[in-house]
Every structure is written in C-alpha cells, then in structure tokens.
Amino acid sequence: MIAALTGRVDAVHEGGCVLDVNGVGYLVACSRKTLDKLTAREGAQKLLVETRVSQDAITLFGFADAAEREAFRALIEVKMVGPQKALQVLSGLDPTGLARVIAGKERKRLGEVKGLGAATANRIIDEPAMQKWAVGRAMPEADGVGAVDIIPAGGVERDAASALVNLGMKRAEAEAAIARAAKRLGDDVSLDALIRDGLKEFAR
C-alpha cells in the first residue's frame, strides 16, 4: 500500500492532481483545500496517501497533513458517505472546522457544504463515532480550565456535564463548558439545549 508520495505537481484537475514522482505520474484525488496548498508552493511536495481498492480500481487519495487524513478516515466510516463525498466535506471545511461543526451539531452549516445536502449532513452529525471524533478535536488544547461556577450535585446541569464526559471529555472541562452555557441560557433551559450549547463552548 502507498502511504505517502513526494513529487512535483504535473497537472491539476477537478477533484485531484497528477503528482510526478521521479517520472511516474500518480493520479491522486484530493480535497480542494489540499489542492490549493499544492498549487501555492513550488518544487517537490509530500502528500500523505490513503489507498482504496475496489472491484474495478485502485484509487489514491492525497492529504496535505495527518489531520485531514484522519478526518477522511472517520467520514468514510459513516453509512452512505464514501471517499468522494468525504473529499467534498473536506473541500468545504478543514478538519478543525469540521470538528467544531459536528461537535456543535450545526446541521445547517454542514448541509451548506457544496454537494453534501441536508440528509448526509444529518447522518454525519448523528453518527456517534463522528461525535466522539469531533469532540476530541474541537476542544481547546489545555491542561486545565479557568475558574467556573460550581455545578450543583443534581439537576439538568449535572446531567449535561455527564453527557459530555460520556463523549470523551474530561470532567473539569465538561463542567466548565456547561457552567458557561447555563449562565448564558438561564434556569429554564432543557437538557438537550444545554448539551448542544456546552459542545459549542468547546468549539470556541
């Protein structure tokens, strides 16, 4: 299997490029964002590669960095989201932006990605594995969190914080996000709304 290629861009076309590696041209499918990075630089460039084998073809998918390749791998595990659809998503959103949209359940924003549509956007957002992938990447990288109001032992805030912990967040970070969301939304907020806004707090 081909894991990476280093060469010069010989040609760019809709949905990919030809990468000249020592005189051999490799047809590589890429996101629009990766193609933009390739064409912005001169000389030999490295592409991380995912090789997909089907009954009638061997297709190479190229990525500018490991984060985009990981996002691609996560997306193609979603039912009805194949490699080409995954590249469409990554053409519209970089991995960090995609993680924030999924973690915040911004269905309209994801559905606006060219060629995706509302049904596929909902399928991606509702996929538990995608939520888990997104939460870990949407969270700010920090060893700790700032001081926040203490969450009561019972009630909707505690339940919401526990839900975020179940998605893979650290307890202190989950409680910090829920406390900020609760302060903004008020006392009568529903559990679903509080979880949704808590996720958005991580995306900020």
| CATH number listed for the domain at residues 66-138 | 1.10.150.20
Domain ranges within the chain, ordered by starting residue:
4-63, 66-138, 156-203
Q: Tens of pLDDT along 53-112?
A: 888 888 999 999 999 999 999 999 998 899 999 999 999 999 988 988 888 888 999 999
Q: Which architecture characterizes domain 156-203 according to CATH?
A: Orthogonal Bundle (1.10)
Q: Tens of pLDDT along 17-48?
A: 999 999 999 999 999 999 999 988 888 999 99
DSSP 127-185: -HHHHHHHHHHHS---S-----PPPPSSSHHHHHHHHHHHTT--HHHHHHHHHHHHHHH
Q: Which CATH number fits domain 4-63: 3.40.190.80, 3.40.50.150, 1.10.10.60, 2.40.50.140?
A: 2.40.50.140
